[in-house]
Amino acid sequence: MTPEILMLCALGAFLELDTTYAFQFLFSRGIIAGPLLSLVTGDLMSGVQVGVFTELVFIDVNPLGGVLPPSAVGCCVVSLALHAMGIPLCFAFFIGVLGAAFFSFMERSMRLGRCGWVVYQEQKIVKKASQLNWTILVSLAQAFLLALVGFVFICSVSGWIMVRVLPFIPERMQMVSAIAYMAVPWIGLTTLICNFNFKRGGK
């Protein structure tokens, strides 16, 4: 784990707050998070591509109601971190997608796990209204720490495994993985056309 990857995870954790917990300026969407995170690694082109591919691969999952879609920032952080470790982008992105889904599972567990704490805080808020500010602050800190720990964990474990496994991966496996990777924008662009279906929008 290099300082560069740690910085990437920290910036990613900060951007991840924008997904749900604060602002919602959409800094956390793939096309913005990817290039922003690539400023840390210095590989702007990979950042743009990972960002676009992330957005297209997750275009059909939205945070409706209590649905927690895979983290776009998580996907960008893991993909760019692995790519910075020397893993080809076709593998790095695949691990990034899996990492994003795993991070969503972690986040769901955190939200479920803090139900007891929320009830306790509600009781305190009713007694003292100013406790609300503290509750919001602690919740934001929880979310930031979860994202930081989650990203560092996923990057280090997957990076450690991939660096050791990569020399044994046959060349044809790399080639077919690259084909699957190149398929992402086409699947995504076709989904976009379906996404703008008038039946769902209505007039």
Partner 1 sequence: MNFTMHLRLFFRSFFLQAAWNYMRFQNIGFAFVMLPVLKQIYKKDTDELPSVLVRYLENFNTHPVMASFCFGALAKQEEILAHEKSLPRYTEKIAAWKEIKRSLSITTASIGDRFFWGALKPFTLLIALMLWLCMGVNIFELSEAGSISYTQVFVALAVAFILFNSIALWVRWKGITLGYKYNAKACFGLTHFDWNRTTYWVKWAGMIFSCLMLGFAIIYFLRDFKDVDFRLVARMLLVFTCVVLSLISRRLRIANMYVYILMMIIFNIACFF
79 to 108, contacts with partner 1 by CB under 8 A?
Answer: 89, 94, 97-98, 101
Cβ nearer to partner 1, comparing 159 with 188: 188
- Say how far apart CA 33 and CA 137 lie, in whole Å: 24
Cβ nearer to partner 1, comparing 135 with 156: 135
Cβ nearer to partner 1, comparing 156 with 177: 177
Q: Is 167 in the site for partner 1 (CB under 8 A)?
A: no
Cβ nearer to partner 1, comparing 70 with 159: 70
- Say how far apart CA 203 and CA 199 lie, in whole Å: 9
- Closest approach, Cβ 98 to partner 1, in A, equals 7
Q: Tally the residues of the chain.
A: 203
- Say how far apart CA 136 and CA 143 lie, in whole Å: 11
- Closest approach, Cβ 34 to partner 1, in A, equals 10
Stretch that binds partner 1, among 7-15, 22-30, 151-159, 160-168 (CB under 8 A): 22-30
Element of type H or E holding 146: helix 131-165
Residue 110 CA: distances (Å) to CA of 6, 107, 147: 22, 5, 11
Stretch that binds partner 1, among 2-10, 121-129, 151-159, 160-168 (CB under 8 A): 121-129
Out of 6, 10, 59, 148, the only residue in the binding site for partner 1 (CB under 8 A) is 59
- Chain-centroid distance of CA 140 in Å reads 17
Q: Is 112 in the site for partner 1 (CB under 8 A)?
A: yes
- Residues in 32-51 that interact with partner 1 by CB under 8 A: 32, 35, 42-49
Cβ nearer to partner 1, comparing 7 with 169: 169
For residues 74-101, b (16+ Cβ closer than 10 Å) or e, as one string?
Answer: bbbbbbbbbbbbebbbbbbbbbbbebbe
- Say how far apart CA 183 and CA 181 lie, in whole Å: 5
- Residues in 144-163 that interact with partner 1 by CB under 8 A: none
CA-nearest of 96, 17, 87 to 55 is 96
Out of 2, 120, 133, 145, the only residue in the binding site for partner 1 (CB under 8 A) is 133
